[in-house]
Amino acid sequence: MKMQDSCKILLLLLFGIISFLGCEKEDLKGLPVDGDGNVYDTVVIGTQTWMAENLKTTSYNDGSLIPQLDKSEEWANSNTAGYCWYDNNPANKEVYGALYNVKAARLEKLCPKGWHLPTIDEWTTLFNYLGEMRQRIN
């Protein structure tokens, strides 16, 4: 595998882990349920409610299927939205959730209904809160 391909895969994995560690809640109606029917625990951090688990859906919140892209060439060359499992192993679904490409995220129907991917401002609020908590502990 070329170094450039390895970098692309690493960037996609990093994006998946950071972006899908939690979707930010838009309303207060129950636990989030994704397009596959998976129910997610939530956690309140400061003034925000986040999913406490990685997203693992293979369907959008409208029920349409997300294509599975399980080869690195598919990730690098795909013009469509897609997902894969960490290490291309479906057994990793429960531990790591799924990894989604940018095209899947941009469709804005990846998160459970009533939820969305965090904005930069929401990430900043989270980081600032965690930084303040760290200062209080030290």
pLDDT tens, position by position, 38-59 = 999 999 999 999 999 999 999 9
User: For all residues of the chain together, what is the average pLDDT?
Assistant: 83
Q: Which of 23-27, 85-89, 96-100 has the lowest mean pLDDT?
A: 23-27
Q: Is the dihedral of CA 74, 76, 77, 78 positive or negative?
A: positive
Average pLDDT on 88-109 reads 93
Cβ neighbors of 45 (< 8 A, separation 6 or more) are 126, 129, 130
User: For residue 34, is pLDDT > 90?
Assistant: yes
Contact 59, 18 (CB under 8 A): no
HEC profile for 35-64?
CCCCECCEEEECCEEEECCCCCCCECCCCC
Instruction: Assign 63 a pLDDT band (cuts: 50, 70, 90).
Output: very high
Q: What is the reported pLDDT for 1?
A: 47
Average pLDDT on 75-82 reads 86
Would you put residue 8 in left (φ > 0), alpha (ψ -120 to 50) or beta?
alpha
Q: What is the reported pLDDT for 81?
A: 93
